[in-house]
Structure 1
Amino acid sequence: MKIATMATGGIGGFLAVRLTQAGHQVATIARGAHLSAIRENGLTLNAPDGDEGATTITPWIATDDPAQVGPVDAIVFGVKGNALESAAAACLPMIGPDTVVIPFLNGVEAADRLLGILPEHSVAKGVAHISTTISAPGVIQQVGTFNRFVFAERDSRRSARIDALRSAFNAAGASSPATMNIDRELWSKFVLFSAMSGITAAARCRIGDVLEQPPLAELFQAVVAETAAVARARGVALPSTAEQDTWRIVLGLPKDMRASTAIDVEAGRPLEIDWVSGAVPRLAQEVGLSAPANSMLYAVLLPHKGGKGS
């Protein structure tokens, strides 16, 4: 298959290495020092100790101009929420008659936003469960051994192109189970991430602090409950035990874990809070609900939304 990663950050980089190893033609869209390093030295994935160690591949194409790539079978779309519009427009030269675009972004609105820019038939839905980051230009670091990429057509119907891409992922060592309800998958992650993102960023803390400080634990559970309530009010078939299941997941997380939002606050980078803490009250209002805990976290983070230059 011909596959493009837009852009080649933690998620795109992981998949680019795995899929190239499996024999697929992968175009890596990147920029700056990261792109220069990929062109000069290849793209390296550092897997956890005990796995495969460091793996370096030479992409089919490494560029900052998608027009150089041309139409592909699939686009792994993994940019920050704030960059969605510009990145989506840049993807247009890579869209062919049956190209599928899989958005792996935080939040639950990426596919709807892409529909305003890309052809309707190209847009699918996806959710990624993996911890990866760019540790140095041209180098992707995976934290932990888990990886799970769930995607489907927007209505969750089965299709040949989704089946083909899932088979490619699985054969490359990137776990991609089938789903009959992609919206439930998206919201199940969002229920956890809305709390993880908002609280570890606003409180400048880690999961261990949440578990050790009862007021933080109560706030975390309040955010989870609000987000789950919004999902159900919007017709998403979350299980009745979603809140309890989410808290059990939290209890098993590494104590030093925190969301990417918290790391971005610390580094002075722009925040995608409009699509996380800010999204919950906005989506709640559409169905006649309120989300005061999420609204409070959004307000606390708002002064940092633009990063150091704001």
Structure 2
Amino acid sequence: MADTIGIVGGGALGTLLTSRFLAAKADVRVVVRSPSRLEMLKRDYPALRGGTDAELLRGSDLVLLCVKAYDVPAVARSLAALDLRETAIASLQNGWGHMEILAAALPRLPLLAGATSLGAYLDERGSLHSDEDGRTLVAPWRPTDLPSAERAAEALRRAGLKADTCSDARAVLWRKLVLNSAVNPLTALARCTNGTLEAEPALFAIAERAAQEAARVGWKLEVLEKGFDPVAALRSVLRETAGNRSSMLEDLGRGRRTEVEEITGAVVRLAGEVGESTPVQAALLTLIRAAERRPQN
């Protein structure tokens, strides 16, 4: 495998992708913020080319962004300072609004929006636990970026991961937002795996209403196709990722900032702009905000 792959972020997803691309003999360059996390990665992957400086990404064919949504502005500035010429940037963030930030900072580079159901978490030692059976969908942010999206999907497939392309990035991102906003806050509050939401009818009823609310906002914004069935999609992702622990569950349990503002907060804010009522989404947002302010046991 001759690809040169840059990965920004040493969390669970970034580590999973690092492990797969290294196994496929790609030239992998990983940039992380924390020196201690870098040490852990090098402990588990001695051949890794890693560092804390974005300069390491020069020469990459593809850069995968695996940072939190609220870190995208800082990452965009770091990438812009490199003055990259042809590198494709694929964002695998949760939430809504990050692609516009990247497009403003990197107007000449191919930009790709990604949605993945790969499951991973890091244990207390920082070691990876993952379910690599999920699928990743890659979509061009601009029509001219479609060839780059196809090459990115092929690179993921060469690394042994399931990947496809789609032409409509905004629909991909809103479908992802529908599911994340229905699953992540609820699993964090109930302290359960994704599959528990389907197994327990009371929890599924809440997730179902949250997904329906987010879908209605997407339809009013005209970013979601009319034929999308939020309940069927919710059941499908819960079964596909039944054993997964959501990133919001992990973050809340470890006392870290969650992405609730970029996920649920985005749905509630945009619902207000289009005049759509989202009481379940608003309640989940309030509860996660309150939980973030309290120490976790």
* TM superposition score normalised by structure 1: 0.82
In structure 2, the gaps of 5 or more residues are none
| Cα deviation 1:87-141 (Å, max 9, x = unaligned) | 2222335452111111101123221232343335343211121001233666322
Distance in 2 of aligned mates of 1:217 and 1:275: 22
Listed as ranges, the matches of 1:3-42 within 5 Å are 3-30=5-32, 31-39=34-42, 41-42=43-44
User: Of 160, 165, 172, which residue of structure 1 is paired with 2:152?
Assistant: 165
The residue aligned with 2:281 is: 294
| Cα deviation 1:222-248 (Å, max 9, x = unaligned) | 101101111111113435351231243
Identify, as 1 or 2, the structure richer in strand: 1
- Distance apart, 1:71 and its partner CA: 4.0
Range with greater deviation from structure 2 (131-140 or 145-154): 131-140
Please tell me whether the aligned partners of residues 81 and 275 of structure 1 are also in contact (alpha carbons under 8 angstroms): yes
- Distance apart, 1:164 and its partner CA: 2.4
Aligned residue identity for 2:173: L
Please tell me whether the aligned partners of residues 4 and 75 of structure 1 are also in contact (alpha carbons under 8 angstroms): yes
Please tell me whether the aligned partners of residues 270 and 306 of structure 1 are also in contact (alpha carbons under 8 angstroms): no
Aligned residue identity for 1:81: A
Listed as ranges, the matches of 1:272-283 within 5 Å are 272-283=259-270
Structure 1 pair 134/202, CA: closer, same or farther in 2 (3 Å)?
closer
Please tell me whether the aligned partners of residues 110 and 145 of structure 2 are also in contact (alpha carbons under 8 angstroms): no
| Cα deviation 1:259-284 (Å, max 9, x = unaligned) | 22122222211111111111111122
Whether 1:107 aligns to 2:89 is no
Count of residues in correspondence between the two structures: 293
Please tell me whether the aligned partners of residues 153 and 163 of structure 2 are also in contact (alpha carbons under 8 angstroms): yes
Aligned alpha-carbon RMSD (Å): 2.7
The residue aligned with 2:257 is: 270
Listed as ranges, the matches of 1:147-296 within 5 Å are 147-156=134-143, 159-207=146-194, 210-211=197-198, 214-240=201-227, 242-249=229-236, 252=239, 257-296=244-283
Distance in 2 of aligned mates of 1:307 and 1:121: 41
Structure 1 pair 29/194, CA: closer, same or farther in 2 (3 Å)?
same
Please tell me whether the aligned partners of residues 198 and 294 of structure 1 are also in contact (alpha carbons under 8 angstroms): no
Structure 1 pair 306/75, CA: closer, same or farther in 2 (3 Å)?
farther
Secondary structure of the corresponding residue to residue 280 of structure 1: helix
- Distance apart, 1:286 and its partner CA: 2.5
- Distance apart, 1:17 and its partner CA: 2.4
Please tell me whether the aligned partners of residues 72 and 94 of structure 1 are also in contact (alpha carbons under 8 angstroms): no
Structure 1 pair 120/112, CA: closer, same or farther in 2 (3 Å)?
farther
Range with greater deviation from structure 2 (166-175 or 232-241): 232-241
| Cα deviation 1:39-92 (Å, max 9, x = unaligned) | 3x352xxxxxxxxxxxxx612x21011124424222100101222222222233
Structure 1 pair 74/67, CA: closer, same or farther in 2 (3 Å)?
same
Distance in 1 of aligned mates of 2:280 and 2:272: 14
Whether 1:96 aligns to 2:84 is yes
Range with greater deviation from structure 2 (210-219 or 182-191): 210-219
In structure 1, the gaps of 5 or more residues are 44-56
The residue aligned with 1:125 is: 113
Aligned residue identity for 1:275: E
Range with greater deviation from structure 2 (224-233 or 296-305): 296-305
Identify, as 1 or 2, the structure richer in helix: 2
Whether 1:80 aligns to 2:68 is yes
Structure 1 pair 200/76, CA: closer, same or farther in 2 (3 Å)?
same
Whether 1:70 aligns to 2:74 is no
